[in-house]
Structure formats: C-alpha cells, structure tokens
Amino acid sequence: MDINTGLLAIGAGLAVGLAALATGWAQGRIGSAGAGALTEKPELFGSILIMLALPETLVILGFAVAAMIILLLKAGG
Amino acid sequence: MLLPMMKIQIVGSKEKLEATLRAMQRLGSVQIQDVAEHGQAQVLPKLSLDANALQRRDQINPLVARLGSFAAILPPGIKAPEHSRAYEAASLKSAEELIAEAKRVVDELGPKSQALALRGDELQAEQASLTRYQATLRKVAPLAAEFPRLAGYETAALLIERRSAAVLDLVRQKLSEIIGDNFELSARHVDEQTTAAIVVFPTEQSARVNALFGRENITPLRLPQELAGASLTDTLATMAQRLAEIPRDIARVEDDLRQLAASWGSSVTVLRAALTDRSAQMEVVGMAGGTRYTFVLVGWMPRRDLGDLKEALQRQAGPEVLVGEIKVGREEMKQVPVALANLPPVRPFEFLVALVALPRYGALDPTPLMALFMPLFFGLILGDIAHGLLLLLCAVVVLRLCRNQTYRSLAQVMVLCGFWSLLFGFLFGEFLGALGRQLFDLKPLWMERSGATIKSLFAFALALGAAHVLLGFALGIWEALRVKARKVLSERLGKFIALIAVFWLVAVVAGTLPRDLTTPGIATLIVGIALLSIPMGWLGGILGPIETLGLISNVLSYLRLAAIGLSSFYLAEVANRLYGVATNVAVGAIVAGLLHALNLAMGIVSATIQSLRLHYVEFFSNFYESGGASFRPFKQSGV
C-alpha cells in the first residue's frame, strides 16, 4: 500500500467521520429543543421526529463520498 | 382512503330535540358544527338551555366528577356484560331521574368509600413512616441500651453525618457551659455515613438543651407522637408489632373496597356514562339553532352513514325530524373533518401517517403507499433471517395476548416488517450476520451485503429511492392537475423532468447510454429547471438550480437503506468474531448474544425511524397536503 492509498483511506474516514460529528452536533441541539417542546405539546411528536431526522442527510452524504473513495481505491487495485 | 363526507342539516319540531340527540348520540356518526359557524346566510337564532336545564347541567357535572372519583377509588374488575343493558335502560330515563339516582349513590357510597380510601392512605403512610423510624432507631438502639432510664431525666437521640462528627465535641462543651456536669453524652459510629449520639439531661433543662440544638442546627430524632416517652427498646418492639399488623389492616380495607365495588361498581359506571352523555347532549343544544317551535342542527357525517341516520331518526324521533344535505362551498372545504377508512391490512399504518398530520380533505391519502413501502424499506435495512423471525414471533405474541389497540396496530406493522426482513435475509443470505454461512452454508439468493457486490446494493438503494421520489412527484402532478393548481403543477412537473434528466446524464457519464444523448439530456434538464423556476418569479434563476441539487440529495438520502443495513451486518460480524476469539466458550456466547441482542434492538429502532423519515421528508414533500382536522362524531361515552 503506497502513501496515496493511505491518504485516500484517511480522506474516506474523514468524510464520514466529520459528517457524523456535524450530524451529531445538529441532532443534539434539535433533540434538546424538541424534548422541551414535547413536554408541553406531545402532539408535535411527528414534526419533531422529522426535524430530528433531517441532519442525518449530512452523514449519508459523507458516507456516499467515503464509499466513492473506497470504490475508487478498489478500482485502482 | 379518505371517507367521503357530507354536510347535513337536521330540522325538526323542538319537542323532538331530545329524542333526536339521543338517536344521533347512539348512532355516533355525526360531528355537530355550531350553527353560528355555518355561513352567514343560514345564521339562525341559537337555542339556549332554559333555566331548569341549566340547573340540571350544573347538577350533572359535579355528580359526574364525584362518580369519577369513586371509579378511581374502587378496584377494577367489575366489567359485567349487563353494563350495556343497564346503560340502555339508564339512557332512556329523564335527567331528573338520573340525577336523583346518582345523588342517592353518591350519598350512600361517598362516606363509606371515602372513609375506606382515607383509612387505606393512613395505613400506607403509617407503614412508610414506621419503616423509616425503625431503620433509624435500630442504629441508635445499641447506644441507648448503655443508659438506664432515670426519673427526672430526658433522653435525646442525635444522628449526625460521620464526617461532621466533630460537632459533638462542640455540643459537649456547650452543654457543660449551660448545665455543668449534670448530663451524659455518648456517641458511636453506627455505619459508614452515620454517627449516633445519645444525650441524657435533666428534664428541667429541656428547653435550654433544645435551644442549643436549634442554634447549632442539630435536629434530634423525633418519634411519632404515640411513641413519645417510651424507651427505645419498647418503641422498637411496638413498631415491629404494628408493622406486622398494618398489612393485615390494609388487606381488610382492600376487601371492604372490593365488596363496595361488587355492590356499587356497576351503578357507578352506568350512571357516570349516562350522565356524561346527557351533559354532552346539553352541550350540543347550545350549538343548535332554532325558532320558537323548531330546531336546526348542522354537522358533518360520512356519506355512507346517511341511510342509517335517516332510519334511526325515523324510528326514534318520528317523521317530524328531517335530514337534508347542505352543499359545501369551496371556501368551506378546509373545514371538512377527515376520517380515514382503509382496508384492514393497511389500517395499522394510519396512525403512522397521523403522526405528522392528517391529510386535508379531498387530498390523497398516502396510507396504502406507506403500507407498501415502509415495511419494504425496513426489511431492506434489517435484512436478516434471525432478526426477521424474532420480530415475527414478538408481533404474533403481542397479537395473541394483547387487547390494547395501539399495541395491536404496532404489532400488525411489525408482522409486515418482519416478513420483509425475513425475505431480504434470504436474499442476502444473512442469519445473525454471516453466522448462517459458517453454520449451515447459507447461500444468498441474490447478493451478499459485503465484499464485491456492495456497489450493486448501493445502486439498488438509489434506484429504489429514485422510483420512490418519482412516484411522489407523479402523485403530486396528478393532484395539481386535479385541483387545477398551475404553479404547483409547473414546480412538480419541473422537478420530475429535472430528476429524470439528472439520471439520464449520469447514465451517459457511466457509459450506459450513448454519448450522443448528452445534448438532449442537458436540454431536458434546462427545461425541467425552467419549469420549476417559473413559480419562484425572478428568484427562480438562482433557486431553480439549487432546488435541482436538493432533488439529487433527496435521492442520495436513500443510500441510508444500504448504509444502515451494512452497519448492522458488521456489528453482527463483530459479535460472531468475539465469540471466536473468546477463550471461554460460555463467556464468548454470552458476549456475542448480548451484542446480537443490542444489534437487533438498534436495528429495529433505526430501521423504523429511517423508513419513516424517508416517507415524511423525501416522499410526502412531493405530494402530501396535510392539515385535515380529525372527524370527532357526537357519540356515547360508552361503558
């Protein structure tokens, strides 16, 4: 394994890892606000679930980038 | 499917109003609307309750509350089938008769049940308090045994946190200053946190000693009043005896309550329901309009129930009461209440749709589509034979044992999810990850979720996502055409075309389509962006391309179907390998079992949430029009 392959692998890890951190940060803030709102209005459960799930797109996009890099690595042999 | 609704007007002679309301309440298919809210042209003087009726209503509401409090005190279990017969009989009685009967029940049952409830509360409080005192006194008892009981002397027991035990030296010094040597103080560590101390001092110095304790923020142990003055040993013995008696006393109180419930429970339940319904009828009178001799009620009902309503009114109120349909104007469409009526296999998914919001009346009900796609997505994510079987087993157990409708609905959803998980488990050849391959050479019917075929899994997830999103747009376009909303139609059609053009161009880049199709592909994309930009006005030039990127992100979002399933597969693999590397087979099996259980729990939760999210965010946003108010018919409260 040469250094370029290693750097690409680190890049793939960073793509999904940093996106996961950003998602976690966003979900933490939305979750705490949502939990507060739910105590007052339990009927908002569905809407809060949607809002809580929205940032997950970030990590999925990070995953897509990481998967592309890994597939590129495999294709390169 | 949304139940077709209609607006009705019921007109009749005023003397038939009570019978009409009773018949409507029994049928339970009409949601009454306040006549004042029913358009300007038809505004009628509103009916109001006369003085006698108001007086009856004021009597009924407190009686319902009292009967409710008895229902809370009396133990459950009296659900006799004769309730409904008794209720039928009660609903035919006049309000005066019901009130008189309820008053008699309240007068006779009230003092007995409240005395028993109070006695039960007292006994439980005494039990809790004595248990607490007993634990404390047991700590002090060995110390107190060192002191003989002396006439003219008082004993105070102190419990102090062990780390603050130095305060006892200060107390000793202050006591010497106040009463000289005429006292005894002995202390001992009784457990890791507590130091107990006993102070014996002359009774005449009691006020000064207690004042000292107060100044030093020391609270002497206070015994229950009935035990004050007794020695510690006697107190402990009395407490033990009393603690043995209390459960018997509580059981006696519970027996008495059960007997009361057996004699009165049925009357309480029936009268409470009958009076609640009578009160609801009085509320409805306030929503009716009328003249001197007639009444007019306005409401919404499912069209299919019109025949039943007419027949019930004819039978119970007579021919003087007529039902007619009121034409619903376009501006009134937003007020039409929504009732979902789907086939039994689809019905459990209605509450998942309602979690976000009910569809607006006249809009498309997405429940059948959700019943099709949600379990499919769930199964694709979970995709394991063992997990699917366990899920099916749990769902079947809940369906057989549980009567709660919410849990049964959830179990019905889980049956479908379990079936799809099982099916994808066979397609991927997974039984607790790759354990099936090692144990019984399980072969995938389609592809493995690891290794070289992973690209195919991603492609499948994206293709499923594209189909789902495009289906959403197709439904949205149909909806927009149906209601002739041109701007919405332009936006949805533009998104539909732009998304197809994006896939077209991707296929050209990937070499699946010939390069000659690049220019037509770009032209189609421009047409799509232009169409979706039109409703945005001059901002469309900037927002249109951004919206197109959003569309791509929506489809990429379906990659989670593959990604989360993969993480579940690898977690199962970690569990299997941990078993392999463990030196002790039993420990390895326990650790692997726990990890598999965790994987299953996480798999069920994340597969449910992710499948729902894909519907709520990526699918519903393309066509779903929410905002309907739930249909709440005027009906009996039931026994």
- Interatomic CA distance for residues B207 and B209, integer angstroms: 6
Residues B290, B191 within the same domain: no
pLDDT, position B58: 87
Question: Does a structural domain hold residue B237?
Answer: no
Q: Which residue of A has its CA nearest to B612?
A: A50
Q: Do B559 and A60 touch (CB under 8 A)?
A: yes
Q: Which residue of A has its CA nearest to B611?
A: A53
Please report the pLDDT score of residue B370 as a whole number.
95
Two tokens, residue B162:
């062990």
Same domain, residue pair B507 and B407: yes
Number of alpha carbons in the 13 Å side-chain half-sphere of residue B306: 18
In the predicted structure, residue B399 carries a pLDDT above the cut 90: yes
Strand-pair category, B194-202 with B289-290 = unpaired
In a domain, B635, yes or no: no
Q: Comparing B162 with B505, which gets the higher pLDDT?
A: B505
Distances (CA, A) of B492 to B474, B503, B613: 8, 17, 21
| Closest CA–CA distance from residue B451 to any residue of chain A (Å) | 11
Q: Are B421 and B374 contained in the same domain?
A: yes
B559's tokens: 């990659």
- Residue B183 contacts A, CB cutoff 8 Å: no
Please name each of the domains of chain A with its CATH number: 11-76 (1.20.20)
Q: What phi, psi does B364 have (nearest 5°)?
A: -80, 135
For position B219, which CATH number holds? 3.30.70.2750
Q: Are B561 and B414 in the same domain? A: yes
Residue B56 lies in a domain: yes
Residue B461 lies in a domain: yes
Alpha-carbon distance of B175 to B399, in angstroms, equals 72
Chain A residues with beta carbon closer than 8 angstroms to that of B455:
71
pLDDT at B111: 85
**Residues B268 and B410 placed together within one structural domain of the fold:** no
- Residue B113 counted as domain residue: no
Q: Is residue B87 part of a domain?
A: yes
pLDDT tens sequence across B288-301: 888 888 999 999 99
Per-residue pLDDT reduced to its tens digit, B518-538: 999 999 999 999 999 988 888
Is residue B304 located within the same domain as residue B383? no
Smallest Cβ–Cβ distance between A60 and the set B355, B356, B563 belongs to B563
What is residue B82's predicted lDDT score, i.e. its pLDDT?
62
CB contact under 8 A, A46 and B617: no
Yes or no, beta carbons of A49 and B609 under 8 Å apart: yes
The answer to whether the Cβ–Cβ distance between B356 and A50 falls below 8 Å is yes
Predicted confidence (pLDDT) at residue B174 exceeds the cutoff of 90: no
pLDDT at B544: 86
Element housing B5 (H / E):
strand B5-13
pLDDT tier at B375 (50, 70, 90 boundaries)? Answer: very high
Decide if B262 touches A, using CB distance below 8 A.
no
Distance CA B82, CA B329 (A): 46
B372/B327 same-domain check: no
More confident of the two residues B133 and B304: B304
Element (H, E) at B188: strand B184-189
Residue from A27, A45, A50 to probe the interface with B (highest B Cβ count within 10 Å): A50
In chain B, the number of structural domains is: 3
Query: Least CB-CB distance to A64: which of B454, B556, B612?
Result: B556
Q: Which of A61, A67, A71 sits opposite B553 (nearest CB)?
A: A61
Would the pLDDT of B392 be above 90? yes
Task: Please report which confidence band the pLDDT of residue B198 belongs to, taking 50, 70 and 90 as the band edges.
Answer: confident
Domain of B206 in residue numbering reads as 150-230
User: Which pTM value belongs to this model?
Assistant: 0.74
pLDDT of the residue at B148: 65
* Better pLDDT: B196 or A34: A34
Could A46 and B455 be called an inter-chain contact, meaning their C-beta atoms sit closer than 8 Å? no
Residue B319 has pLDDT above 70, yes or no: yes
**By three-state DSSP, how is residue B200 classified?**
strand
Write the single-letter amino acid at B375: P
The answer to whether the CB of B553 falls within 8 A of the CB of A57 is: yes
Question: Which of A54, A61, A67 is the closest to B617 by Cβ?
Answer: A54
Q: How far is CA B253 from CA B1, B2, B249, in A?
A: 53, 52, 6
Mean pLDDT score across all residues of chain B: 86
pLDDT tops 70 at residue B34: yes
Establish if B616 touches chain A: CB-CB under 8 angstroms.
yes
One domain for residues B388 and B510: yes
Position B222 scores a pLDDT of: 63
Distance from CA of B614 to the nearest CA of A (A): 9
Q: What pLDDT sits at residue A51?
A: 85
Q: What is the pLDDT of residue B368?
A: 95
Residue B142 falls inside a structural domain: no
**With an 8 Å Cβ cutoff, is B612 touching chain A?**
yes
Domain assignment present for B361:
no
Please identify which residue in the block is written with the tokens 């990850």: B433
Residues 6+ apart with CB under 8 A from B79: none
Give Cα separations from B142 to A71, B106, B131, B138 (angstroms). Answer: 77, 53, 18, 8
Q: Which residues contact B498 (CB under 8 A, 6 or more apart)?
A: B525, B528, B529, B531, B532, B548, B551
Which 335-374 residues of chain B touch chain A by CB within 8 A?
354-357
A24 closest CA partner among A66, A59, A73, A62: A59
- Report CA B136 to chain centroid distance, whole Å: 42
Q: How distant is the Cα of A57 from the closest Cα of chain B, in angstroms?
A: 6
Phi, psi of B439 (to 5 degrees): -80, -50
High-pLDDT (> 90) share of chain B, %? 35
Listed residues B310, B332, B354: the one ending a domain: B332
CA distance A18 to chain B (A): 16
Quickly state the pLDDT bin for B634 (edges 50, 70, 90).
very high
Q: What Rg do the C-alpha atoms of chain B give, in angstroms?
A: 37
* Residue corresponding to tokens 């027949």: B311
Three-state secondary structure call for residue B619: helix
- One-letter amino acid of B288: A
Q: Are residues B160 and B288 in the same domain?
A: no
pLDDT band at residue B228 using 50, 70 and 90 as cut-offs: low
B440-471 pLDDT per residue, tens: 888 999 888 877 778 888 889 999 999 999 99
Which of B71-80, B132-141, B320-329 is the least confident region? B71-80
**pLDDT tens figures, A23-77:** 999 999 999 999 999 999 888 887 888 788 888 888 888 888 888 888 777 776 5
How many other CB atoms are there within 10 angstroms of residue B200's CB atom?
Answer: 18
pLDDT for residue A64: 82
- pLDDT class of B423 with cuts at 50, 70, 90: very high
Could you give the 3-state DSSP secondary structure of residue B112? helix
Q: Taking CB atoms and an 8 Å limit, are B613 and A56 in contact across chains?
A: yes
Q: How far is A11 from chain B (nearest CA, A)?
A: 18
Q: Do residue B459 and residue B580 come from a single domain?
A: yes
CB contact under 8 A, B616 and A49: yes
Q: In this structure, are B441 and B581 located in the same domain? A: yes
Pick the more confident residue, B12 or B578. Answer: B12
Interface check B227 vs A, CB under 8 A? no
B-chain residues within 8 Å CB-CB of A75?
none
Mutate one of A41, A48, A49 to test the B interface: name it (highest B CB count within 10 A): A49
Q: How far is CA A30 from the centre of its chain?
A: 15
Same domain as B262, residue B185:
no
Inter-chain touch B355–A45, beta carbons under 8 Å: yes
| Residue B80 predicted with pLDDT over 60 | no
